[in-house]
Amino acid sequence: MDESGLPADDASTAIDDRTAVVDMPSSQWVLSDVVARDGVEGVSGAHGVHTYWTQIGTSGDGVYHRDERLDLGYRRVTTTTLGQDEDGVSAMSVEEVDYRNEDIYRRGLAARSTLRDGDGMLYTVEEIEHLATDLAQIAANGWFFPRETERRSAFYEGTTDDPAAVHKHTREMRFYDEDGDLTDVFSYGEEGTSADDVHHHIDYERDDAMADVSRTRGRWTARNRASIRMRRCAPLESAWTEAPRSGSHSAKRRSREKTCR
């Protein structure tokens, strides 16, 4: 690479993460390293690691939507936490997060995350499902809500590096009404028993006079039932009033009233 930033005549121009491609036609500035120091290194009696280094890596899987002229992001981001930044200490943890960047509606939504220790042993794997894009609904209504439908979490506690090995896991399912409001959350715990399963249901009471603002009532259903209530304020009611000023000019002031029922 010469001073202008262009490859030198004898430099390799093979495609890598820094080369413009059809899906990512331009270069980007991305966060690559974060170094944190506790400020007590060298202080008498202060032992242990005082500098922590976090690396953030991306693969050559970024996507740029040419029609929308919008960056859809990278599919996989790897965050590696090191014990020190200079001594080559092995990683303390490695987290890989896969994001959705196949369409504009689900861009930036996490689809899967994997957490391992520095030796590659698994701790957690989480998979998140979102509603697939419905082109017919988009054409008819002009909008699409990529709602989260299911979340699966697996726990390995560093006992294996194989995701298919025996492990503990939980599952959560979510349901929505036609307006996109969350109505039910089902959380399933240990297999073989329903003692730790939780169902959260939300009812919406709508008042036409409140201009599409709804009140909600929620309830957790488990061994012990507890009620919760949430309130939303009505829209701001604005009115224009004339406020005279010196001379022949006047200014408009807006007064607002907010009600909460």
**Mean pLDDT of the residues in the chain:** 74
Q: State the pLDDT at residue 210.
A: 64
Q: State the pLDDT at residue 222.
A: 42
Is 94's pLDDT higher than 60? yes
Q: Does residue 54 sit within a domain?
A: yes
Q: Does residue 170 sit within a domain?
A: yes
Closest CA to 115 of 98, 99, 93, 100: 93
Q: Does residue 219 sit within a domain?
A: no
Q: Structural domain tally of the chain?
A: 1
Q: How far apart are CA 175 and CA 54, in angstroms?
A: 37
Q: What is the CA radius of gyration of the chain?
A: 27
Q: Does residue 251 sit within a domain?
A: no
Q: State the pLDDT at residue 113.
A: 96
**What is the mean pLDDT of the segment spanning 92-120?**
91
**Per the confidence metrics, is the pTM higher than 0.85?**
no
Q: Does residue 120 sit within a domain?
A: yes
Q: Does residue 26 sit within a domain?
A: no
Q: State the pLDDT at residue 44.
A: 82
Closest CA to 152 of 130, 177, 133, 180: 130
Confidence category of residue 48, pLDDT binned at 50, 70, 90: confident
Domain that includes residue 37, residue range:
32-176
Q: State the pLDDT at residue 124.
A: 95
Write out 8-30 in H/E/C secondary structure.
CCCCCCCCCCCCCCCCCCCCCCC
Both structure tokens of 13:
């121009």
Query: Judging by DSSP bridges, how do beta strands 198-206 and 182-188 pair with one another?
Result: antiparallel
**What is the mean pLDDT of the segment spanning 18-36?**
76
Q: State the pLDDT at residue 9.
A: 41
| Listed ranges 16-30, 110-124, 136-150; the one with the highest mean pLDDT | 110-124
Q: How far apart are CA 230 and CA 241, in angstroms?
A: 34
How many whole angstroms from its chain centre is CA 46?
37
Give the HSE-up count for residue 168: Cα atoms under 13 Å, Cβ half-sphere.
10
Q: State the pLDDT at residue 118.
A: 87
Q: State the pLDDT at residue 195.
A: 86
How many whole angstroms from its chain centre is CA 156?
23
Q: State the pLDDT at residue 88.
A: 56
Confidence category of residue 138, pLDDT binned at 50, 70, 90: confident
Q: Does residue 56 sit within a domain?
A: yes
192-243 residue pLDDT tens: 788 889 999 999 887 766 655 545 554 444 433 333 343 333 333 333 333 4
Looking at residue 236, what DSSP letter applies? P
Q: How far apart are CA 115 and CA 93, in angstroms?
A: 7
How many whole angstroms from its chain centre is CA 113?
11
**What is the mean pLDDT of the segment spanning 28-44?**
83
Q: Does residue 21 sit within a domain?
A: no
**What is the mean pLDDT of the segment spanning 236-260?**
39
**What is the mean pLDDT of the segment spanning 240-255?**
40
